[in-house]
Amino acid sequence: MPGVHGPDGVVVDRLTVRYGGTVAVDAVSLSVRRGELFFLLGPSGCGKTSLLRAIGGLEPAAAGTVAIGGHDVTALPAYRRGAPMVFQGYALWPHLSLAENVGYGLEARGVPAAERRAKSLEALRMVGLAERADARPAQLSGGQQQRVALARALACEPEVVLLDEPLSNLDAKLRREMRGELVRLHAEARFTAIYVTHDQEEALSMAERVAVMHAGRIVELGTPRELYERPRERFTAEFLGEVNWLPAEVLGPAPGGAHRVRTALGEALVPAPAGAEVQGSRSKVQGSLPSGNWQPGTGNWLLGFRPEAARLGPAPEGALAWRGRVEASSFLGSEERVELDAGGGRRLVLRLPACGASPGQELSGHVGPDRLWLFPV
């Protein structure tokens, strides 16, 4: 059954996709490991689906190469790449049974009937539908039909499965259930998968690694936790969730590679960004971070933090202290979403442990240095 096959997963090298004069994918390079559940995440029109389709051979590459399982497949048609696509729509034949739908690709490859039936039943077992093998697609729910579409891809024992927003047609409750099913299935079969989505929660909760895309390029790549908690790019920080931004001035270096900054709320220590190299009185930003002048006294920076990074109580050394009046509060069960007027036209959005905050109430707290970010304006 499906699983890791070739010596490599998928390697894309400077791949470019054009539609007329429009560049949809701009010289993208990435490497997906064998057996990895890899996500392409970004807003509509960022090029993620075009990249996926080019990997699968459904869109021609204007430049660059695609290798799957250690073999250059750039010139091969889609049906010879070993990279089936699972689409948003289920694309099931209504007049065929589930087993016949799953075995359709195997039949096209000339697999004998008995072997085809056995492989189809095994694929259906993996998605929990073996007992419905002789049912028709119309007898299934949307979630079950999507499982059949996935089983059809897995039955051919592909090098990689390409998933183009496969859960977008399902309701919210079913989407959550199917996320768990897909993660379970991947853990069992350990097939290589590239999954396209614009849903941040979907990517953060399922992926082993995520490539964030914008304007045809990969902005940043890392684990969900790395991208959410320690983003290297401002676009990533904002796309993955709410952020509070404060204009900041760099005052100078601090012990441990941190930087002391000043904001309208007060001073704080900020860890050096990932990839930053501290040299004397300034830091040189490297890697994917844009370059900036870290000379003490400059004010062209933004200090950022997530709403859930806020804590109530006195601020420890190096933390950013905040204080203000509650403008609005929403009870969310174990926490509250609080909109705070911090004075001077500054408005903060905080997620705090349920504390019964009400409009007009004064609150004070802090954000620890390890939860603060610094980006160029």
Kindly state the average pLDDT of the residues 309-335: 93
Task: Give the highest mean pLDDT range of 35-49, 80-94, 125-139.
Answer: 35-49
Q: Does residue 11 carry a pLDDT above 80? A: yes
Q: Is the pLDDT reported for residue 189 higher than 90?
A: no
Q: What is the pLDDT of residue 2?
A: 47
Confidence category of residue 273, pLDDT binned at 50, 70, 90: low
Mean pLDDT (whole number) for 162-170: 89
Residue 78: alpha-carbon gap to chain centroid: 25
Cβ-contact 264, 346 below 8 angstroms = yes
In percent, the amount of the chain with pLDDT more than 90 equals 63
* Mean pLDDT across the chain: 88
Q: What is the pTM of this model?
A: 0.86
Query: What whole-number distance in Å separates Cα of residue 215 and Cα of residue 28?
Result: 11
pLDDT at 1: 46
CA distances in angstroms from 206 to 15, 97, 152, 212, listed in the order given:
26, 30, 21, 15
Q: What would the pLDDT profile of 14-34 be if each residue is shown by its tens digit?
A: 999 999 999 999 999 999 999
What is the crossing angle of helices 113-126 and 142-155, to 10°? 130
